[in-house]
Amino acid sequence: MMGNFGYGGMGWIGMILGLVITIAVIIGLVLLVVWAVRRMSGNNAQPGSQNLTGQSARDIAQARYAKGEINREEYQQILSDLSR
């Protein structure tokens, strides 16, 4: 009667099962917090946009021109402004 410790007579199996469930809940909570932080981290990039950090202004202008975001005149104006 004293060896049950509240596990309903399951003994070691109940203790191991309780430990596994506890660890699973803790891992689930950690993953939930990581997901929430990533979701709220201000990652407001539009779908299809590239991360432009580390590129020169010329590279960015060339990429925008290649994608059709700016026309030839705008591209040439940017290059002209950059060469000043």
Q: Is the predicted pLDDT of residue 37 greater than 60, yes or no?
A: yes
Residue 43 — very low, low, confident or very high, per pLDDT cuts 50/70/90? low
Tokens read off for 82: 């950059």
* 3-class DSSP state of 83: helix
**So where are the chain's domains?**
1-41, 53-84
Distance separating alpha carbons of residues 39 and 16, to the nearest angstrom = 34
Q: What is the mean pLDDT of the chain?
A: 83
Contacts of 65 (CB under 8 A, 6+ apart): 71, 72, 74, 75
For residue 1, the model assigns a pLDDT of 47
